[in-house]
Amino acid sequence: MRGWLAAVTFSCCSLVAGEALTENQGPDYIKLKALLPPAPGAQACYARTYDPDHLKRHPKQTVTEMVFSLRYVTLGEEEAVIVATEGGGTEKRYFDYDFTLAAKTKEHDRTLYASGDCASAEGIGCGVECDGGGIEIEPIAGDKDSILMRFSESGYIRMTLGCGDEENSVELKPGEDDKVFKLAKAPAAICTSMEGELGK
């Protein structure tokens, strides 16, 4: 990946999983745990840079580069999330899955980014808070090194052009050639180096 990846900000915005996730009874996280087994510091990194030949064959595709980082985060007592149980009670959840999505597009010189939380029930959903839309992640059967990414039912994901630049946010939406993105597993160093530079 090229140097623009280091410009992605992980902690500028406070974000949570959106429309793709269930509420009350809570998500079960089974599919997420299968994709990224729980372990302190566990992380999965996926990326793709579309080559000129691909973009020539798909002239209406606007996304030229994409990176997706998924992390398993352990929570302390104060950060633990209270969730409802099937029996009508509550319990604390001491983990979270968070994501960061970075993209380069033909329309913008600067990196677009979004981050938030992920969960899974029928599928894996990652969302941005405050009606910021989201994405869905689908593992590929028989290919443990790749995932498919598509927009959630909201039809968009809100991304920004820079840290603290919420006023100039961009809604990345599916286009004729921007509906499904196949990303390949990338070295963890690509994502961890970003986090290191940004203090996450």
User: How much is the pLDDT for 181?
Assistant: 95
Task: Give the alpha-carbon dihedral of 68, 130, 78, 163, to 10 degrees.
Answer: 60
Domain residue limits, the chain: 12-194
Residues contacting 68, CB < 8 A, separation 6+: 45, 46, 47, 99, 100, 101, 102, 137, 147, 149, 183
Cα–Cα distance, 118 to 124 (Å, whole number):
7
Per-residue pLDDT tens over the stretch 158-173:
998 765 556 678 899 8
Give residue 57's identity as a one-letter amino acid code.
R
- The helix/strand/coil state of 31 is helix
User: How much is the pLDDT for 15?
Assistant: 39
Which of 90-99, 171-180, 187-196 has the highest mean predicted lDDT (pLDDT)? 90-99
27 band by pLDDT with thresholds 50, 70 and 90: low
pTM: 0.81
Cα–Cα distance, 64 to 108 (Å, whole number):
11
Closest CA to 162 of 97, 198, 111: 111
Rounded mean pLDDT of 14-26? 39
Burial class (CB in 10 A: 0-12, 13-18, 19+), 26: middle
